Structure 1
Amino acid sequence: MRQAIIFRGEDGFWVAECPSLPGCISQGETREEVVQNIREAIQLYIETLEEDGLDVPDELFETFVIAV
């Protein structure tokens, strides 16, 4: 299980990133699309690390929403 952050990009597309996997970022036109895309990106990222014999980073992040 991995945490992902999703937000609207400057171009109006949804952007998703997985903080525990540096550089694992995706985008989509809708929230549903970006969730599916980041899910696939996370799977491929981890598969690639494993194929290359590299350690898969632990999920160490916690997220909070802070209203100001």
Structure 2
Amino acid sequence: MKQKYAVVFERSPNNYGAYVPDLPGCVSVGDTWEEMQEMIKEAITYHIEDMLECGEPLPQPQMSIEQAIAFHNQPLPECVKQSLAEFGEVDGTNDPEFPPRFGMVEVEISVPHSVKAV
């Protein structure tokens, strides 16, 4: 089965990162743009496979690119800002020199017939 998820791609001065708003906790980083793109595909696949192994329902993609942009632009909670400050990113805002990109990533997922989608 193929699934397509909205992904937020970000570049920092030292590497590239990506996260999937529809899959909380599904993140990846890479030293290059190409590496990060491959890594987020693997992260999505493993994230979903882990959910299925734990008996959780298959998460269906919900967000469009426009919704992912709106999600990404929401203000961060104070606790998240504090965590980012500990890592040297004072306010959790993006560096204007490296604006985020938004795209859809398609992954192939093996789903047992007994698994129900939500």
Q: Once the two structures are aligned, what percentage of the paired residues are identical?
A: 33
Give the structure with higher Rg (CA): 2
Unpaired runs of at least 5, structure 1:
none
Between structures 1 and 2, the one with greater strand share: 2
Residue 62 of structure 1, CA deviation: 1.3
Shift of 1:12: 2.1
Map of 2:105 onto structure 1: none
Note the residue ranges of structure 2 that are not aligned, 5 or more in a row: 70-118
Equivalent position of 2:38 in the other structure: 36
Taking structure 1 as the reference length, what is the TM-score of the superposition? 0.83
Query: Which residue of the partner structure matches residue 9 of structure 2?
Result: 6
Pick 1 or 2: higher relative contact order, CA cutoff 8 A, min separation 6: 2
**How many Å separate the matches in 2 of 1:20 and 1:50?**
15
Structure 2 length as normaliser, TM-score?
0.50
